[in-house]
């Protein structure tokens, strides 16, 4: 982004029947052909026509900030994009969330390169954006598939033809399982993997799929919990073995690997996260030695982890895995990278630890207008909790665009101190130049709670020209 949209810290991508106990993983060369082949599937797995149809939606009041005259003229979203209007003088209203075209391109390319260089397949977490257009671009950039968190998200993915879904949760909802059985039956190319972390969960899945007349088994991975007090997952190797035993006797389940989420490791630091990841690898090794995968006969053994804070540790530990009875599918699931942010992930990104591998760029900017300047030290803008993420950090005032001459300057002496539903509270130094009518560009934190407040988001060039619109489905 340039000054009009204004992102900070832009970087350049650098291409660059024994039961489980403990095991010490050996070493193997990362990036083997067995791993790389999965990450390089063409984008044919996504149905292009439904994505193209998004451009045919009419511009209406349902979508925040779009130009009222575009609705009056009966324009579609695609026709509005073709007009290449500028967000500052093209009739858009505030508050207005925009995505930098440049930063999106950069971030998509960087994680493609990172996964390829580290021999990882990549299933980015789609719950971040819930945008089929961004899913398409991630698949074009070599993604193996898309990760989901709940069945509704998987239904959205299927509506847009995604053929590989990793659902990072146990699915025990009967209605969702019946739908899933139907999808697996109707489409022999559809691959679906989900967690299982309990004997009861395995039994519920099996019983419901049987009653639904499932014709294909459901692929599952045993979830290893990140420790006591962490989130989901079986807590010990012995617990995991009991779950695996329940899967092996289930007619409608197939055990294909192990998985978990290192971001839930208590008091997480590099050593603790790597230690837990090695436990995850050891569990897969022990399952293989115990014959669990021989019984289920998967094409490859799935080993999956990786949020947006520790994927460097995932890459490091997954590079140590030994050879098993069949190829590994080492699946990374980071999602927030696509837009990055100016707060939470700016602080936590692994690229802070490995700057030689690149730098993500924050792609979001929320534009709000000053609607009140009651005192020399106070101002209010027309964006609040309905428009901006606030669960981790308040927005950050970054730039001001003058209503008088359109010039953009740094937001020196201006800070966001609170949010109401539809107002942002600003404090200002007495010397700060800020007038009613000025636009304030805000940096935001936590992509997952930024995207979900906007159904349609303009993608803009450096000068503020809207070149596309991203549709979301939350």
DSSP codes of every residue in 150-162: SHHHHHHHHHTT-
Answer yes or no: are the C-beta atoms of 301 and 257 closer than 8 Å.
yes
Question: Residue 424: in which H helix or E strand, if any?
Answer: strand 424-428
Answer yes or no: are the C-beta atoms of 34 and 328 closer than 8 Å.
yes
Question: Cα Rg for the chain, rounded, in angstroms?
Answer: 24
Give me the residues of the chain with pLDDT under 70, please. Answer: 1-45
pLDDT number for residue 207 = 98
Q: Which residue has the tokens 């409608």?
A: 252
Q: What's the rounded Cα separation, in Å, for the pair 76 and 157?
A: 23
Question: Residue 194: in which H helix or E strand, if any?
Answer: strand 191-196
| Residue 152: closest CA among 125, 130, 122 | 130
pLDDT number for residue 446 = 98
pLDDT number for residue 352 = 97
Cα–Cα–Cα angle for 207, 213, 215, rounded to 5 degrees: 105
The residues pairing with 368 across neighbouring beta strands, listed in sequence order, are 440
pLDDT number for residue 48 = 83
Instruction: Name the packing angle between helices 174-186 and 199-211 (round to 10°).
Output: 60
Q: How many CA atoms lie within 13 A of 197 on its CB side?
A: 19
Burial-class residue 170 by CB neighbours within 10 Å (0-12, 13-18, 19+): buried
The residues pairing with 397 across neighbouring beta strands, listed in sequence order, are 442
> Rounded to 5 degrees, what are φ and ψ at 301?
-100, 120
> 414-419 and 253-259: which strand pairing?
unpaired
| Full-model pTM | 0.90
pLDDT number for residue 431 = 82
pLDDT number for residue 295 = 85
Answer yes or no: are the C-beta atoms of 193 and 302 closer than 8 Å.
yes
Answer yes or no: are the C-beta atoms of 410 and 424 closer than 8 Å.
no
Q: What's the rounded Cα separation, in Å, for the pair 395 and 424?
A: 9
pLDDT number for residue 28 = 35
Mapped onto helix, strand or coil, the DSSP state of residue 168 is strand
Question: Residue 471: in which H helix or E strand, if any?
Answer: strand 466-471
Q: Which residue has the tokens 């073709």?
A: 82
Q: Which residue has the tokens 């559809």?
A: 190
Q: Which residue has the tokens 């590099």?
A: 270
Answer yes or no: are the C-beta atoms of 173 and 184 closer than 8 Å.
no
pLDDT number for residue 45 = 65
Q: What's the rounded Cα separation, in Å, for the pair 227 and 161?
A: 36
Question: Residue 271: in which H helix or E strand, if any?
Answer: helix 270-289
Q: Count helices and strands (H / E) in the chain.
A: 15, 18
Cβ–Cβ contacts within 10 Å for residue 249, how many? 11
């Amino acid at each position: 982004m340039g000054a009009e949209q204004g992102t900070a810290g832009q970087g350049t991508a650098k291409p660059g029947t024994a039961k489980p106990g403990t095991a010490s993983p050996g070493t193997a060369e990362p990036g083997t052909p067995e791993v790389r082949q999965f990450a390089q599937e063409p984008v044919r797995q996504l149905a292009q026509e439904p994505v193209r149809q998004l451009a045919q939606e009419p511009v209406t009041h349902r979508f925040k900030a779009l130009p009222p005259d575009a609705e009056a003229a009966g324009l579609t979203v695609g026709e509005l994009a073709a007009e290449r209007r500028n967000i500052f003088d093209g009739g858009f209203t505030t508050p207005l969330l925009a995505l930098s075209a440049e930063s999106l391109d950069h971030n998509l390319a960087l994680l493609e390169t990172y996964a390829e260089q580290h021999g990882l397949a990549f299933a980015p977490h789609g719950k971040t954006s819930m945008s089929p257009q961004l899913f398409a671009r991630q698949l074009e950039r070599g993604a193996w598939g898309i990760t989901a968190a709940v069945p509704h998200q998987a239904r959205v993915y299927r509506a847009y033809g995604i053929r590989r879904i990793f659902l990072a949760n146990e699915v025990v909802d009967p209605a969702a399982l019946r739908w899933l059985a139907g999808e697996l039956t109707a489409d022999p190319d559809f691959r679906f993997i989900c967690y299982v972390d309990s004997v009861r969960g395995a039994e519920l899945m099996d019983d419901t799929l049987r009653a639904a007349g499932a014709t294909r088994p459901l692929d599952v991975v045993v979830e290893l919990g990140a420790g006591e007090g962490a989130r989901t997952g079986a807590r010990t190797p012995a617990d995991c073995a009991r779950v695996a035993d329940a899967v092996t006797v289930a007619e409608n389940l197939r055990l294909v690997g192990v998985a978990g989420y290192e971001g839930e490791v208590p008091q997480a630091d590099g050593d603790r996260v790597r230690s837990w990841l090695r436990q995850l690898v050891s569990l897969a090794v022990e399952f293989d030695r115990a014959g669990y995968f021989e019984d289920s006969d998967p094409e490859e053994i799935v080993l999956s982890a990786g949020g947006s804070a520790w994927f460097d540790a995932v890459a490091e530990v997954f590079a140590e895995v030994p050879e098993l009875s069949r190829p590994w599918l080492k699946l990374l699931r980071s999602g927030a990278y696509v837009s990055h942010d100016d707060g939470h992930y700016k602080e936590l990104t692994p690229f802070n630890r490995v700057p030689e591998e690149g730098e993500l760029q924050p792609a979001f900017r929320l534009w709000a207008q000053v609607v009140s300047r009651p005192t020399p030290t106070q101002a209010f803008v027309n964006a609040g909790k309905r428009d901006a993420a606030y669960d981790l950090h308040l927005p950050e005032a970054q730039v001001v665009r003058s209503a008088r001459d359109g010039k953009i300057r740094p937001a020196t002496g201006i800070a966001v101190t609170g949010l109401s539903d539809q107002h942002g509270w600003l404090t200002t130094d007495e010397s700060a130049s800020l007038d009613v009518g000025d636009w304030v560009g805000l940096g935001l934190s936590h992509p997952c709670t930024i995207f979900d407040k906007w159904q349609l988001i303009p993608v803009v060039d450096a000068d503020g020209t809207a070149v596309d619109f991203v549709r979301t489905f939350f």
